[in-house]
Amino acid sequence: MDKRLLVLACGMFAIGTDSFVVSGVLRQVSVSLGVSIVLAGQMVTLFALSYALLSPIIAAVAAHWPRKRLLLAGLAVLVLGDIITAVAPSIELVLASRLLSGLAAAMFSPTATATGASLVEPEQRGQALSIVVAGLSSGTAFGAPLGVFIGGLLDWRATMWFVAALGTLAWMGVALFLSDIPTPPVVNFSRRLAPLRDSRVMLTLSTIGVVFTGLFIVNTYIDPSLDRVTRGEPGILAGLLLLRGVAATAGSLTAGRLADRFGNRRLINMAIVVLVLDFALLPWTSASLVTTVLALVIWGLFGWGFLVPQQLRLIGITPSAAPLLLGLNSTAIYLAVSVSGLLGGAAITYFDRHALGLVGAVFIVAGLVFAEWAQHRIARPHHQTANATTVYSGVS
What is the total residue count of the chain?
396
Q: Dump pLDDT digits (tens) for 324-336.
A: 777 778 788 888 8
Say if CB 243 and CB 293 are below 8 A apart. yes
What whole-number distance in Å separates Cα of residue 176 and Cα of residue 169?
A: 11
- Going by C-alpha positions, the residue among 218, 214, 217, 224 that lies closest to residue 29 is 224
The 10 Å Cβ neighbour count of residue 290 is: 9
Domain that holds residue 54: 1-179
Give the count of domains, the chain.
2
Is residue 123 classed exposed, middle or buried when 0-12, 13-18 and 19+ CB atoms within 10 A define those classes? Answer: exposed
Instruction: Specify if 186 maps to a domain.
Output: no
Q: How many CA atoms lie within 13 A of 22 on its CB side?
A: 32
Instruction: Specify if 396 maps to a domain.
Output: no
What whole-number distance in Å separates Cα of residue 166 and Cα of residue 150?
A: 13
What whole-number distance in Å separates Cα of residue 121 and Cα of residue 95?
A: 42
Residue 235: what residue type? G
Which residue, of 125, 152, 179, is where some domain finishes?
179
Instruction: Give the per-residue pLDDT at 312.
Output: 76
DSSP structure class, residue 198:
S
Instruction: Give the per-residue pLDDT at 280.
Output: 94
Instruction: Give the per-residue pLDDT at 390.
Output: 46
- The answer on 152 and 231 residing in a single domain is no
What whole-number distance in Å separates Cα of residue 15 and Cα of residue 143?
A: 10
Q: Which portions of the chain are predicted below pLDDT 50? A: 382-396
Instruction: Specify if 312 maps to a domain.
Output: yes
- The answer on 196 and 330 residing in a single domain is yes
Q: Is 35 helix (H, G, I), strand (E, B) or coil?
A: coil
- The answer on 329 and 203 residing in a single domain is yes
Radius of gyration from C-alpha coordinates of the chain: 20
Instruction: Specify if 184 maps to a domain.
Output: no
Report the interhelical angle of 144-153 vs 4-21 (nearest 10°). Answer: 50
- The answer on 201 and 163 residing in a single domain is no
Which residue, of 179, 211, 245, is where some domain finishes?
179
